[in-house]
Structure 1
Amino acid sequence: MNSKSRIPAGNPSFEVDLFTLFQAVWNKKSIIIATSALCGIAALGYAYFVTPEYQVSSILRPAAINELDALNRSGVYTLPPKEALLKVGSSLESYETRLSFFKANQALFSQFKRPGRTLEQSFEDFNRDSLKLILPDPTKADSLNVSIGLELNYPKGVDGVQILNGFVDHAITAERDQISADLKVIVNNRLTELKGKIDAARSNYETEKQARIATLLETDNLKRAQLQDELKALRQQLKTGRMDRMAQLSEAIGIAKALGIQKPTTPSALGDSARPADSSLMRTEINNQQIPLYFLGVEALEAERAALKNRSNDDFTENRIAQIARELLLLQSNREVEVLKLRQNEDLFLSGVEPLRAEIVRLGGVSNLDFTNLKLVSIDRKALEPVAPIKPKKALITLLGLVLGALFGILIVIAKYFVAQRRDGLQQPLSVQSRRDPTETTGAGNLLQKDLR
């Protein structure tokens, strides 16, 4: 069964037989094969002559807990393995880290440089098109399979393996150096804080020491002033007592002279002096009353008064004066003040600084922590030399060239068919077509076959 369709072409109109069209295309299969072959050869040539592009990749995973134990046990900087992995991933994604590696290894990136472009512009193309970072899924942050991937696409002639492995090492080193710098800053800040506390304790101790010295000296001055006042009062008291005694003696001398008592006597002896003396008589007198001074006689009283008048110092008559002199002598120097002033290593007497000193020693050990062997991440897979390029895919390009060539050939044949049909339709008058014998050859397919012959 034939399928026909009516196709308008300007004023004339004619019918197209699809089976005849297919037959015409089949008859010209050599053209289709030729165009398909030419396009396939061109595609194959393109696939072989275009610069191959390779791909290498590397996978990073969290380091073991024991690798970061020394850092975490410092008590200054805490870094869990997963956080260390994210830090390295951030460094791998950092524009500054990538640019620094690009500048430090320009020999590896010679093919990425373009004439008339700056180094940063050439790096921008490489950074945008060649390097890709695959970060872990945030929804699976607690998964045991958390990892960071890094892919590098590079043309033939570039050492992509060395670039990718070198860049990973560069990023890890950069992050390790950053952690080391951060740790040193934290330790230095802590040390400054601790030293400030020790300085404050030292200042407080110095203030307390000066206050203690001032208190002791003030106490000594007060005690000295009190003793001097007491000594002055005692001396005045002794002087007054001596003057009173001299007045009493003068009065007693007057009485003794009036009674004619020259030598010391007693009241009973004075009464018996008028009687005749009896040498065989001995008297004993017992009296519980104090005998007045004038009974001592004028001679004794005048002698005592002369001694009191010639006395220049009464201190020896009072024991308290000697005690005061002793105490004043002791107050001339305060031994506790001298000891406080002669202290050599005063830091030994600071209170509450022992924990601060212990922390300073501990932080000193932390600041000397060796970061060269600090393993922030575990490189699960390093970049390896690829077996085959990822671009171009020669088989796919060749197949696509063949298919496109075949389609192009078919279009050529169909175009020629319609051109021939249109030309034949224009050459035949409309009246002749209406008187055409039915037995004659009908259909545009035979005209096309005749034309093709």
Structure 2
Amino acid sequence: MFALIQSLWQQKKLIAGTTAAVGALALGYAFLAPSVYQASTVLRPAAINELDALNRSEVYKLPPTDALLKVGSALDSYETRLNYFEAHQELFKPLEKKGISLEQSFEIFNRDAINLTQPDPKKPDSLSPFIKLELTYPDNVDGVKILNGFVEYAINNQRAQIGADLKVIINNRLRELEEKIDAARSGYKSDKEGKIATLVESDTLQRAKLNDELKALRLQLKTERESRIAQLSEAISIARSLGITRPTTPSAMSDAAQGSSRVMRTEITSQSIPLYFMGTQALEAERTALLKRTSDDFTDKGISDIGKKLHMLEVNRQVEMLGKRANEDLFLKNIEPLRAEVVRLGNLNTDMGKLGLVSIDRKAQTPISPIKPKKALIIALGLVLGCLLGIAIASTRYLISRRRPMP
């Protein structure tokens, strides 16, 4: 071992030269190798007041953590990255290489250069959830502009998506409310038509009953008139046979037969005097009048009452007013809340251009130094490896010289 160390010391120039050569190679690589930089941005949930207007709309609920997850999903989406690349191809031009198309370069860049980090929900090591997006890029690419632009593009994309979803939900709600109002109109129309039909049917029924009652009453009066005529005819026949021409009484006829005309009698009887005592003159006059009568309506007050009722039934004012309603919506029941909701939904602001979905806790900044290559480490490793290589060469020379035969 002592001899080996002595040999290495004797070959110190060889070791130093090897170390210097390898160190020079490492130094050249450190300064000639392309620099690789890394930029990062951190997103955190937005403040509650940023999403308060959206959540208070009672149409779309979006807590801050859910908004952060939506943006994170967009940032991790290949479609979003591809759309951003297609919209900003000038930023990715430096990635284009000979034999590789720009799209292929983007595929490599997307697979190896972009890294999305989220906290593990099972290990809450942060006071609030966050999303960290890192971008590794060569020195000929404006990575800071790409990263900040991509974050802004993803946020705007989600804003537009939320605005579109909000419009669809509002339109669906409005369509549902209009259907309920139309159903209320249809129900009201059916109720009104049913009410009109009921009133008309009731009037028709009552009119038919009154007409039947009127016919029956007229028939009754006619029958009574005919019966009276028959009674008068019979009484006239009896009065003629008795020679009674003027009204008289049985007592008066008895006195006339006895020839006493000075006696005045008062007659009280519980029986009605037969009709023929009225005399032929009165009876014939009444019969003639009855025979000439064309209508018996005036003889009974009930007929005028029925006529009055029939006249009142000719026009139903309630049916008339129901048919003359111009604005039937004024009479719809339980639709005021629906109308108020339609007005509220119509006044909702669906412009999500200023909606704060996330809070950009740290924007991407131009890095001070590249992450690759690490010049100091490479040079140090080069010197160490050069020294080890020199020692290995010197040790090999020493071992070879020991095996040579002595002269």
TM range (shorter): over 0.9
Question: Following the alignment from structure 2 to structure 1, what is the Cα–Cα distance between the partners of residues 168 and 152?
Answer: 24
Q: Which has the higher contact order (CA 8 A, sep 6+)?
A: 2
- State how many pairs are aligned: 407
Do structure 1's residue 88 and structure 2's residue 71 form an aligned pair? yes
1:127-166 pair list within 5 angstroms: 127-140=110-123, 143-166=126-149
Question: Following the alignment from structure 1 to structure 2, what is the Cα–Cα distance between the partners of residues 117 and 259?
Answer: 149
Question: Following the alignment from structure 2 to structure 1, what is the Cα–Cα distance between the partners of residues 259 and 168?
Answer: 122
Q: CA deviation at 1:244?
A: 0.4
Do structure 1's residue 408 and structure 2's residue 389 form an aligned pair? yes
Q: What are the ranges of 5 or more consecutive residues in structure 2 without an aligned counterpart?
A: none
Q: Is the 8 A contact 1:140 1:146 kept in 2?
A: no
SS at 1:378's partner residue?
Answer: strand
1:250-269 pair list within 5 angstroms: 250-269=233-252
Partner of 1:330: 312
Please list the CA deviations of residues 285-308 of structure 1 after superposition, one character each: whole Å capped at 9, or x if unmatched: 555543221122112111211221
SS at 1:352's partner residue?
Answer: coil
Question: Following the alignment from structure 1 to structure 2, what is the Cα–Cα distance between the partners of residues 327 and 263?
Answer: 44
Partner of 2:331: 349
Alignment partner of 1:172 out of 155, 167, 173:
155
1:89-108 pair list within 5 angstroms: 89-108=72-91
Alignment partner of 1:371 out of 343, 346, 352:
352
Do structure 1's residue 181 and structure 2's residue 164 form an aligned pair? yes
Q: CA deviation at 1:195?
A: 2.0
Do structure 1's residue 247 and structure 2's residue 230 form an aligned pair? yes
Q: Is the 8 A contact 1:132 1:152 kept in 2?
A: yes
Partner of 1:359: 341
Question: Following the alignment from structure 2 to structure 1, what is the Cα–Cα distance between the partners of residues 190 and 368?
Answer: 79
Please list the CA deviations of residues 35-59 of structure 1 after superposition, one character each: whole Å capped at 9, or x if unmatched: 2212211211111111111111111
Question: Following the alignment from structure 1 to structure 2, what is the Cα–Cα distance between the partners of residues 140 and 177?
Answer: 33
Give the % identical residues: 60
Q: CA deviation at 1:406?
A: 2.1
Please list the CA deviations of residues 226-262 of structure 1 after superposition, one character each: whole Å capped at 9, or x if unmatched: 1111111111111110110011001100111011111
User: Given residue 154 of structure 1, which amino acid in structure 2 is its aligned partner?
Assistant: Y
User: Given residue 402 of structure 1, which amino acid in structure 2 is its aligned partner?
Assistant: L
User: Given residue 146 of structure 2, which amino acid in structure 1 is its aligned partner?
Assistant: I
Do structure 1's residue 78 and structure 2's residue 53 form an aligned pair? no
Q: Is the 8 A contact 1:58 1:149 kept in 2?
A: yes
User: Given residue 327 of structure 1, which amino acid in structure 2 is its aligned partner?
Assistant: K
Do structure 1's residue 386 and structure 2's residue 367 form an aligned pair? yes
Question: Following the alignment from structure 1 to structure 2, what is the Cα–Cα distance between the partners of residues 330 and 383?
Answer: 90
Question: Following the alignment from structure 2 to structure 1, what is the Cα–Cα distance between the partners of residues 100 and 166?
Answer: 40
Q: Is the 8 A contact 2:185 2:329 kept in 1?
A: yes
Partner of 2:292: 310
SS at 2:347's partner residue?
Answer: helix
Q: What are the ranges of 5 or more consecutive residues in structure 1 without an aligned counterpart?
A: 1-17, 429-446, 448-453
Do structure 1's residue 206 and structure 2's residue 174 form an aligned pair? no
Q: CA deviation at 1:61?
A: 1.6
User: Given residue 338 of structure 1, which amino acid in structure 2 is its aligned partner?
Assistant: E
Partner of 2:8: 25
Question: Following the alignment from structure 1 to structure 2, what is the Cα–Cα distance between the partners of residues 143 and 256?
Answer: 132
Q: Which structure would you say has the larger Rg?
A: 1
Judging changes above 3 Å, is the alpha-carbon distance between structure 1 residues 209 and 141 closer, same or farther for their aligned structure 2 residues?
farther
Judging changes above 3 Å, is the alpha-carbon distance between structure 1 residues 82 and 198 closer, same or farther for their aligned structure 2 residues?
same
Judging changes above 3 Å, is the alpha-carbon distance between structure 1 residues 381 and 319 closer, same or farther for their aligned structure 2 residues?
same
SS at 2:115's partner residue?
Answer: strand
Judging changes above 3 Å, is the alpha-carbon distance between structure 1 residues 96 and 341 closer, same or farther for their aligned structure 2 residues?
same
User: Given residue 241 of structure 1, which amino acid in structure 2 is its aligned partner?
Assistant: E
Question: Following the alignment from structure 2 to structure 1, what is the Cα–Cα distance between the partners of residues 357 and 366?
Answer: 25
SS at 2:135's partner residue?
Answer: strand
- TM-score scaled by structure 1? 0.84
Question: Following the alignment from structure 1 to structure 2, what is the Cα–Cα distance between the partners of residues 115 and 334?
Answer: 95
Please list the CA deviations of residues 380-401 of structure 1 after superposition, one character each: whole Å capped at 9, or x if unmatched: 1111121111111111111111
Question: Following the alignment from structure 2 to structure 1, what is the Cα–Cα distance between the partners of residues 393 and 45?
Answer: 62
Judging changes above 3 Å, is the alpha-carbon distance between structure 1 residues 292 and 92 closer, same or farther for their aligned structure 2 residues?
same
Partner of 2:279: 297
User: Given residue 385 of structure 2, which amino acid in structure 1 is its aligned partner?
Assistant: L
Question: Following the alignment from structure 2 to structure 1, what is the Cα–Cα distance between the partners of residues 124 and 324?
Answer: 65
SS at 2:132's partner residue?
Answer: strand
Question: Following the alignment from structure 1 to structure 2, what is the Cα–Cα distance between the partners of residues 118 and 209?
Answer: 74
Please list the CA deviations of residues 302-344 of structure 1 after superposition, one character each: whole Å capped at 9, or x if unmatched: 1211221222221121211122122222222222222222222
Please list the CA deviations of residues 393-446 of structure 1 after superposition, one character each: whole Å capped at 9, or x if unmatched: 111111111222222223333333344444x33xx6xxxxxxxxxxxxxxxxxx
Root-mean-square deviation (CA, aligned residues, Å) is 2.2
Q: CA deviation at 1:282?
A: 6.2
Judging changes above 3 Å, is the alpha-carbon distance between structure 1 residues 51 and 19 closer, same or farther for their aligned structure 2 residues?
same
Judging changes above 3 Å, is the alpha-carbon distance between structure 1 residues 276 and 186 closer, same or farther for their aligned structure 2 residues?
same
- TM-score scaled by structure 2? 0.93
Alignment partner of 1:217 out of 187, 190, 200:
200
Judging changes above 3 Å, is the alpha-carbon distance between structure 1 residues 288 and 76 closer, same or farther for their aligned structure 2 residues?
same
Partner of 2:27: 44
Partner of 2:256: 273
Alignment partner of 1:111 out of 72, 94, 107:
94
Question: Following the alignment from structure 1 to structure 2, what is the Cα–Cα distance between the partners of residues 22 and 143?
Answer: 56
Question: Following the alignment from structure 2 to structure 1, what is the Cα–Cα distance between the partners of residues 97 and 388?
Answer: 39
SS at 1:290's partner residue?
Answer: coil
User: Given residue 246 of structure 2, which amino acid in structure 1 is its aligned partner?
Assistant: K
User: Given residue 26 of structure 1, which amino acid in structure 2 is its aligned partner?
Assistant: W
1:413-452 pair list within 5 angstroms: 413-422=394-403, 424-425=404-405
Q: Is the 8 A contact 2:93 2:102 kept in 1?
A: no
Partner of 1:440: none
User: Given residue 415 of structure 1, which amino acid in structure 2 is its aligned partner?
Assistant: T
Do structure 1's residue 62 and structure 2's residue 50 form an aligned pair? no
